[in-house]
Amino acid sequence: MSFFERLGERIDAVDSVVSVGLDPDPDRLPEHLSEHDLPRWAFNRRIIDATHEHAAAFKPNAAFYEDPDGWRALEETIAYAKGKDVPVILDAKRADIGNTTRQYANLLDDDADGPAADAITVNPYMGRDSLQPFLDQEDKGVFVLCRTSNPGGADIQDLELAEGDLVYERVAAMVDGWNRHGNAGLVVGATSPDELEAVREQVPDLPFLVPGVGSQGGDAEAAVEHGLAGGVGVVNSSRGIIFAWEDGQSRRRTTEGDETEFADAAGEAARRLKRRLNQYR
Protein backbone atom coordinates (compact mmCIF):
# COMPACT_ATOMS: atom_id res chain seq x y z
CA MET A 1 0.00 0.00 0.00
CA SER A 2 1.35 3.43 -0.93
CA PHE A 3 1.83 6.23 1.57
CA PHE A 4 -1.06 8.24 0.18
CA GLU A 5 -3.35 5.21 0.33
CA ARG A 6 -2.40 4.73 3.98
CA LEU A 7 -2.87 8.43 4.66
CA GLY A 8 -6.29 8.34 3.01
CA GLU A 9 -7.33 5.43 5.22
CA ARG A 10 -6.17 7.32 8.29
CA ILE A 11 -8.10 10.45 7.28
CA ASP A 12 -11.24 8.38 6.86
CA ALA A 13 -10.71 6.51 10.14
CA VAL A 14 -10.46 9.64 12.29
CA ASP A 15 -12.46 12.01 10.06
CA SER A 16 -9.61 14.50 10.20
CA VAL A 17 -7.09 16.20 7.93
CA VAL A 18 -5.05 17.61 10.82
CA SER A 19 -1.31 17.09 10.84
CA VAL A 20 0.18 17.74 14.28
CA GLY A 21 3.68 19.20 14.08
CA LEU A 22 6.00 17.81 16.75
CA ASP A 23 8.54 20.62 17.21
CA PRO A 24 9.65 20.29 20.86
CA ASP A 25 11.61 23.49 21.37
CA PRO A 26 13.66 22.71 24.52
CA ASP A 27 13.23 26.28 25.80
CA ARG A 28 9.45 25.90 25.81
CA LEU A 29 9.01 22.48 27.39
CA PRO A 30 7.30 22.22 30.78
CA GLU A 31 9.88 22.34 33.55
CA HIS A 32 8.87 19.07 35.16
CA LEU A 33 9.93 17.16 32.02
CA SER A 34 13.57 18.15 32.53
CA GLU A 35 13.99 15.28 34.98
CA HIS A 36 13.46 12.75 32.18
CA ASP A 37 16.35 11.17 30.30
CA LEU A 38 14.94 12.45 27.01
CA PRO A 39 12.70 15.45 27.74
CA ARG A 40 11.73 15.94 24.10
CA TRP A 41 10.58 12.34 23.84
CA ALA A 42 8.70 12.62 27.14
CA PHE A 43 6.95 15.72 25.78
CA ASN A 44 6.14 14.15 22.42
CA ARG A 45 4.77 10.98 23.96
CA ARG A 46 2.26 12.95 26.00
CA ILE A 47 1.34 15.11 23.00
CA ILE A 48 0.80 12.00 20.86
CA ASP A 49 -1.35 10.39 23.54
CA ALA A 50 -3.47 13.54 23.79
CA THR A 51 -3.85 14.27 20.06
CA HIS A 52 -3.67 11.02 18.10
CA GLU A 53 -7.44 10.52 17.92
CA HIS A 54 -7.65 13.83 16.02
CA ALA A 55 -4.48 13.40 13.93
CA ALA A 56 -4.30 12.26 10.33
CA ALA A 57 -0.50 12.54 10.59
CA PHE A 58 2.30 13.65 12.83
CA LYS A 59 5.05 15.88 11.42
CA PRO A 60 8.25 16.14 13.48
CA ASN A 61 10.64 18.80 12.21
CA ALA A 62 14.20 17.48 12.09
CA ALA A 63 15.62 20.84 13.21
CA PHE A 64 14.46 20.14 16.76
CA TYR A 65 16.31 16.82 16.94
CA GLU A 66 19.73 17.59 15.46
CA ASP A 67 21.85 16.30 18.34
CA PRO A 68 22.48 12.80 19.80
CA ASP A 69 19.74 12.93 22.44
CA GLY A 70 17.43 14.57 19.96
CA TRP A 71 17.96 11.83 17.41
CA ARG A 72 17.13 9.23 20.05
CA ALA A 73 14.00 11.22 20.91
CA LEU A 74 13.05 11.33 17.25
CA GLU A 75 13.45 7.56 16.87
CA GLU A 76 11.22 6.96 19.87
CA THR A 77 8.70 9.51 18.62
CA ILE A 78 8.40 7.98 15.15
CA ALA A 79 8.07 4.45 16.53
CA TYR A 80 5.44 5.51 19.06
CA ALA A 81 3.37 7.47 16.54
CA LYS A 82 3.42 4.58 14.07
CA GLY A 83 2.41 2.29 16.92
CA LYS A 84 -0.75 4.44 17.17
CA ASP A 85 -1.33 3.81 13.44
CA VAL A 86 -0.64 7.46 12.61
CA PRO A 87 1.55 8.15 9.56
CA VAL A 88 4.69 10.19 10.19
CA ILE A 89 5.94 12.92 7.85
CA LEU A 90 9.51 13.91 8.66
CA ASP A 91 9.91 17.61 7.91
CA ALA A 92 13.56 17.53 6.92
CA LYS A 93 13.68 19.52 3.63
CA ARG A 94 16.56 17.36 2.46
CA ALA A 95 18.23 17.14 -0.95
CA ASP A 96 21.81 16.98 -2.15
CA ILE A 97 23.99 15.45 -4.82
CA GLY A 98 24.85 11.82 -5.54
CA ASN A 99 25.76 9.63 -2.62
CA THR A 100 24.83 12.33 -0.09
CA THR A 101 21.19 12.40 -1.09
CA ARG A 102 21.11 8.60 -1.12
CA GLN A 103 22.17 8.72 2.51
CA TYR A 104 19.45 11.25 3.28
CA ALA A 105 16.92 8.93 1.66
CA ASN A 106 17.73 6.35 4.34
CA LEU A 107 15.47 8.39 6.59
CA LEU A 108 12.66 6.58 4.76
CA ASP A 109 14.30 3.13 4.72
CA ASP A 110 12.61 0.74 7.14
CA ASP A 111 15.67 -1.55 7.02
CA ALA A 112 18.21 1.17 7.85
CA ASP A 113 19.38 2.19 11.30
CA GLY A 114 17.62 5.18 12.82
CA PRO A 115 14.19 6.70 12.36
CA ALA A 116 12.20 5.56 9.34
CA ALA A 117 9.40 7.97 8.53
CA ASP A 118 6.48 7.29 6.20
CA ALA A 119 7.06 10.48 4.21
CA ILE A 120 9.53 13.35 4.05
CA THR A 121 9.74 16.95 2.87
CA VAL A 122 12.43 17.75 0.31
CA ASN A 123 13.91 20.82 -1.36
CA PRO A 124 13.73 20.89 -5.19
CA TYR A 125 16.30 23.58 -5.90
CA MET A 126 19.14 21.17 -6.76
CA GLY A 127 17.05 19.48 -9.42
CA ARG A 128 15.56 16.09 -10.09
CA ASP A 129 18.67 13.99 -9.45
CA SER A 130 18.82 15.34 -5.90
CA LEU A 131 15.28 14.01 -5.27
CA GLN A 132 15.38 10.77 -7.23
CA PRO A 133 16.47 8.52 -4.31
CA PHE A 134 13.41 9.71 -2.39
CA LEU A 135 11.04 9.38 -5.35
CA ASP A 136 12.32 5.85 -6.02
CA GLN A 137 10.90 4.61 -2.70
CA GLU A 138 7.47 3.86 -4.11
CA ASP A 139 5.70 3.14 -0.81
CA LYS A 140 6.90 6.38 0.83
CA GLY A 141 5.60 9.90 0.42
CA VAL A 142 7.70 12.81 -0.85
CA PHE A 143 6.42 16.35 -0.27
CA VAL A 144 8.37 18.86 -2.38
CA LEU A 145 8.62 22.49 -1.26
CA CYS A 146 6.63 24.63 -3.68
CA ARG A 147 5.14 27.81 -2.15
CA THR A 148 6.15 27.94 1.48
CA SER A 149 4.37 29.68 4.35
CA ASN A 150 7.19 31.97 5.50
CA PRO A 151 7.12 35.67 4.52
CA GLY A 152 10.45 35.42 2.70
CA GLY A 153 9.23 32.60 0.48
CA ALA A 154 8.32 35.18 -2.15
CA ASP A 155 11.96 36.26 -2.50
CA ILE A 156 12.69 33.31 -4.78
CA GLN A 157 9.46 31.40 -5.26
CA ASP A 158 7.60 34.37 -6.77
CA LEU A 159 10.30 35.32 -9.26
CA GLU A 160 9.13 35.43 -12.86
CA LEU A 161 10.96 33.22 -15.32
CA ALA A 162 11.73 34.09 -18.92
CA GLU A 163 8.80 31.99 -20.13
CA GLY A 164 6.41 34.04 -17.96
CA ASP A 165 5.62 31.52 -15.24
CA LEU A 166 6.76 31.94 -11.63
CA VAL A 167 9.34 29.75 -9.91
CA TYR A 168 6.79 28.04 -7.66
CA GLU A 169 4.57 27.33 -10.68
CA ARG A 170 7.50 25.74 -12.51
CA VAL A 171 8.27 23.61 -9.44
CA ALA A 172 4.67 22.39 -9.32
CA ALA A 173 4.76 21.46 -13.01
CA MET A 174 8.07 19.61 -12.66
CA VAL A 175 6.92 17.61 -9.64
CA ASP A 176 3.75 16.65 -11.50
CA GLY A 177 5.98 15.28 -14.25
CA TRP A 178 8.29 13.48 -11.80
CA ASN A 179 5.40 11.71 -10.06
CA ARG A 180 5.89 8.40 -11.89
CA HIS A 181 5.15 6.29 -8.80
CA GLY A 182 2.27 8.39 -7.50
CA ASN A 183 4.16 9.16 -4.29
CA ALA A 184 4.92 12.86 -4.75
CA GLY A 185 3.08 15.85 -3.31
CA LEU A 186 3.69 19.53 -2.70
CA VAL A 187 4.19 21.77 0.32
CA VAL A 188 2.01 24.84 -0.26
CA GLY A 189 1.36 27.22 2.62
CA ALA A 190 -2.02 28.46 3.79
CA THR A 191 -0.58 31.94 4.43
CA SER A 192 -0.72 32.67 0.67
CA PRO A 193 -4.25 31.58 -0.32
CA ASP A 194 -4.08 33.09 -3.82
CA GLU A 195 -0.94 31.12 -4.62
CA LEU A 196 -2.47 28.04 -3.01
CA GLU A 197 -5.45 28.34 -5.34
CA ALA A 198 -3.19 28.92 -8.35
CA VAL A 199 -1.10 25.84 -7.66
CA ARG A 200 -4.18 23.69 -7.17
CA GLU A 201 -5.57 24.81 -10.53
CA GLN A 202 -2.26 23.91 -12.14
CA VAL A 203 -1.89 20.44 -10.56
CA PRO A 204 -5.41 19.26 -9.65
CA ASP A 205 -4.40 15.76 -8.61
CA LEU A 206 -1.25 16.17 -6.49
CA PRO A 207 -1.60 15.77 -2.71
CA PHE A 208 -0.70 18.85 -0.66
CA LEU A 209 0.84 19.31 2.75
CA VAL A 210 -0.46 22.70 3.85
CA PRO A 211 1.44 24.38 6.71
CA GLY A 212 0.75 27.76 8.27
CA VAL A 213 -2.65 27.19 9.85
CA GLY A 214 -2.40 28.00 13.53
CA SER A 215 0.17 30.36 14.98
CA GLN A 216 1.14 31.60 11.48
CA GLY A 217 -2.44 32.71 10.83
CA GLY A 218 -3.03 30.85 7.57
CA ASP A 219 -6.42 30.68 5.90
CA ALA A 220 -8.16 27.51 7.11
CA GLU A 221 -10.93 27.67 4.52
CA ALA A 222 -8.48 28.08 1.64
CA ALA A 223 -6.32 25.32 3.07
CA VAL A 224 -9.20 22.88 2.73
CA GLU A 225 -10.92 24.27 -0.37
CA HIS A 226 -7.76 24.44 -2.47
CA GLY A 227 -5.13 22.50 -0.58
CA LEU A 228 -7.20 19.36 -0.22
CA ALA A 229 -9.18 19.60 -3.44
CA GLY A 230 -6.93 16.98 -5.04
CA GLY A 231 -8.13 14.31 -2.61
CA VAL A 232 -5.67 13.12 0.01
CA GLY A 233 -3.77 15.81 1.89
CA VAL A 234 -3.24 17.31 5.33
CA VAL A 235 -3.20 20.71 7.00
CA ASN A 236 -0.46 21.17 9.58
CA SER A 237 -0.34 23.09 12.83
CA SER A 238 2.65 22.81 15.13
CA ARG A 239 3.02 25.50 17.78
CA GLY A 240 -0.69 26.27 17.76
CA ILE A 241 -1.33 22.76 19.08
CA ILE A 242 1.68 21.58 21.05
CA PHE A 243 2.15 24.89 22.90
CA ALA A 244 -1.54 25.67 23.31
CA TRP A 245 -1.01 25.52 27.08
CA GLU A 246 0.91 28.80 27.01
CA ASP A 247 -1.13 31.91 27.65
CA GLY A 248 -1.04 34.96 25.41
CA GLN A 249 1.29 37.02 27.60
CA SER A 250 3.98 34.68 28.86
CA ARG A 251 4.93 31.05 29.07
CA ARG A 252 2.99 29.30 31.78
CA ARG A 253 4.97 26.54 33.47
CA THR A 254 3.23 23.52 34.89
CA THR A 255 3.57 22.98 38.61
CA GLU A 256 3.15 19.97 40.83
CA GLY A 257 -0.39 18.68 40.48
CA ASP A 258 -1.07 19.90 36.92
CA GLU A 259 1.55 17.98 34.96
CA THR A 260 -0.93 16.96 32.27
CA GLU A 261 -2.07 20.52 31.56
CA PHE A 262 0.08 20.99 28.47
CA ALA A 263 -1.05 17.69 26.93
CA ASP A 264 -4.71 18.32 27.73
CA ALA A 265 -4.47 21.75 26.07
CA ALA A 266 -2.85 20.20 22.99
CA GLY A 267 -5.58 17.61 22.71
CA GLU A 268 -8.25 20.29 22.90
CA ALA A 269 -6.44 22.46 20.31
CA ALA A 270 -6.19 19.51 17.91
CA ARG A 271 -9.88 18.74 18.40
CA ARG A 272 -10.82 22.37 17.70
CA LEU A 273 -8.71 22.52 14.55
CA LYS A 274 -10.20 19.24 13.33
CA ARG A 275 -13.70 20.65 13.82
CA ARG A 276 -12.75 23.95 12.16
CA LEU A 277 -11.28 22.30 9.08
CA ASN A 278 -14.12 19.82 8.77
CA GLN A 279 -16.53 22.74 8.32
CA TYR A 280 -15.03 23.24 4.85
CA ARG A 281 -14.58 19.63 3.75
pLDDT at 254 over 50: no
| Average pLDDT for the chain | 91
Evaluate whether 40 touches 26 at the Cβ level (below 8 Å): yes
End-to-end CA distance of the chain, in Å? 25
- What sign results for the dihedral spanned by CA atoms 145, 149, 152, 155? positive
Q: Which of 57-66, 88-97, 220-229, 260-269 is predicted with the least confidence, judged by mean pLDDT?
A: 220-229
Burial zone of 40 (CB within 10 Å; 0-12 exposed, 13-18 middle, 19+ buried): buried
Q: Give pLDDT, residue 212.
A: 79
Q: How far is it, in rounded angstroms, from Cα 261 to Cα 257?
A: 9
Catalytic annotation, pick one of 59, 93, 140, 274: 93
82 is catalytic: no
Architecture of domain 3-278: Alpha-Beta Barrel (3.20)
pLDDT range class, residue 193, cuts 50, 70, 90: confident
Amino acid at 223: A
Domain ranges of the chain: 3-278
Strands (E), 17-157: 18-22, 57-60, 89-94, 119-122, 141-147
Q: Give pLDDT, residue 151.
A: 86
pLDDT at 9 over 80: yes
